[in-house]
Amino acid sequence: MASAVSKTPMLRAAAARGFAAQAKAASAGCGSSEPQCSNLPNKLSVASAEPNAAVARVSIVYRAGSRNESGDNLGASHVLRAASGLSTKTATSFGIVRNLQQVGGSLTTTADRETVTYTVAVTKDHLETGLKYLEAAATGQVFKPWELADLTALIKTDLSRVPLEVRAVESLHKAAYHSGLGNSVFCPKYQVGKHSSETMQHYFEANCSASRAAVAAVGVDHQLLVGFAQSLNLGSGKGSDNKSSFNSSEVRHERGGNRAAVAVATQAAGWDNLKDCMAYIVLQHAAGTGPVTKRGGNNGALTKQLSGVNSSTLCSTYSDNGLFGFVVAGDAKAVGKAVEAGVKGLKSLNVSDEDVARGKAATLGWVVDYVENHSTLAFDLGEQAALLGQVYKKADMVAAINGVSTSDVQSVARKLASAKLAVGAVGNLNSVPYLCNLN
């Protein structure tokens, strides 16, 4: 028996609201392929691109990532991500799953340090159904106590699957920022199962509001998307972005065994300083991000100095801050020497014109591939709209990368020589030097 999907002409109503706000309305599916961004009176940002794509992907993005957590609700963003398929004010968990499956759609939720993103993907002829259940999942959470209790096993499974290298990077963030950006994207073990319905409802209402949100889409006409965004019933919570400052410290987790992973970094630029941010990203690719072919060599300006272990340059950029350094993982006996060599190479990092040209080419390839994939494009539009209130066109990003000169990259590389370090280490750390021996 076919399920009863939406009987309310949502798209018709949303389109009417959207078209009424514009003097000239473009017909659905005939808009520009370039990204468009609108900011509504309630401060909700709306971004779209590629309206003629065969599959419609629509995201509702909130600035509700782990940096917004406090000591009382650590892990709330992880629980929020895990709870995305639970019952809401207008739909049961079973109803969401069944109705989306019947139209061949999917609902996914991702969370990072700054945002939580709900995304639905459906073919255009079932867009109304997709938007109905996206709205239900992203704006109508009720967090029933018995459903939250059922998430405990899922969250424990998530934690058990975190690789050693990721644990090291999480420890690095804790060392570098302490709170805010230092909050892990994973729920602490001691907090698993302890988030009450009231705690989650308060966190949702404070951080998932119109002024802290964006609606982004690929494969949907922009005016139609604006109409949908205007119809959303979003709260007015102010939340907190928990500004974070860099600290030189270390976090070590002794685990025994025969492996270790260490992440070392210093402060870098955030997206609020686009020029320096791009220079750091180019430097990352010039310094080495790992082999580009199966069984290939690690021949970056920095990573070629780190033999005997798996290594990659690290560049984590956020809206107002960033980290630049490296990650090494491997046999516990070899990691210690690799860390010493990595710090020495980081502080004396020198890049040539050829290194910068290679770094720019790799960065261009990464950016173009990212924005031409509709799944990642939809995610990127939402992130930019929610964090920056605007979106960059592909041509703007390409121009920014091409505008990075060798002197720009050398300038940020020189800053590393005197920069203070933060360290996160996990595993058998017998051979890993302490921070006081590295700075």
In this prediction, residue 181 carries a pLDDT of 96
Q: Rounded to a whole number, what is the distance in angstroms from the first to the last CA of the chain?
A: 67
Query: Residue 131 contacts by C-beta under 8 Å, 6 or more apart in sequence?
Result: 10, 11, 14, 58, 120, 228
Cα separation, 307 vs 54, whole angstroms: 46
Q: How confident is the model at residue 159 (pLDDT cuts 50, 70, 90)?
A: very high
In this prediction, residue 439 carries a pLDDT of 76
Beta strand 250-254 pairing with 422-427: parallel
Q: CA gyration radius for the chain?
A: 23
Percent of the chain residues topping a pLDDT of 90 = 77
Q: Which residue has the tokens 């709870």?
A: 83
Model confidence at 26: pLDDT above 60 = no
Domain 35-231 belongs to what topology?
Answer: Cytochrome Bc1 Complex; Chain A, domain 1 (3.30.830)
**250-437 has CATH 3.40.50.970 classification:** no
Measured CA angle at 371 (ends 284, 222), to 5 deg: 140
Average pLDDT over residues 200-213: 94
User: Are the C-beta atoms of 393 and 324 separated by less than 8 Å?
Assistant: no
User: Are the C-beta atoms of 183 and 69 separated by less than 8 Å?
Assistant: yes
Q: What is the DSSP letter of 107?
A: E
In this prediction, residue 298 carries a pLDDT of 78
Average pLDDT over residues 32-51: 89
Average pLDDT for the chain: 89
Instruction: State the pTM of this model.
Output: 0.89
Give pLDDT tens digits for 300-313: 889 998 988 999 99
Going from N- to C-terminal start, the domains of the chain cover: 35-231, 250-437
Amino acid at 392: Y
Query: What number of residues does the chain have?
Result: 439
User: Are the C-beta atoms of 100 and 6 separated by less than 8 Å?
Assistant: no
Model confidence at 12: pLDDT above 50 = no
Residue 303 has which token pair?
């990573």
Helix (H) or strand (E) holding 364: helix 353-372
Model confidence at 3: pLDDT above 50 = no
Model confidence at 20: pLDDT above 70 = no
Cα separation, 197 vs 25, whole angstroms: 43
Q: Which residue has the higher pLDDT, 290 or 367?
A: 367
In this prediction, residue 32 carries a pLDDT of 56
Model confidence at 284: pLDDT above 80 = yes
In this prediction, residue 16 carries a pLDDT of 38
Cα separation, 307 vs 51, whole angstroms: 47
Cα separation, 264 vs 437, whole angstroms: 13
In this prediction, residue 412 carries a pLDDT of 94
Helix (H) or strand (E) holding 324: strand 322-331
Give pLDDT tens digits for 328-351: 999 999 999 999 999 999 999 999
Amino acid at 27: S
Q: What is the DSSP letter of 209?
A: B
Fold equal for 35-231 and 250-437: yes
Cα separation, 27 vs 35, whole angstroms: 17
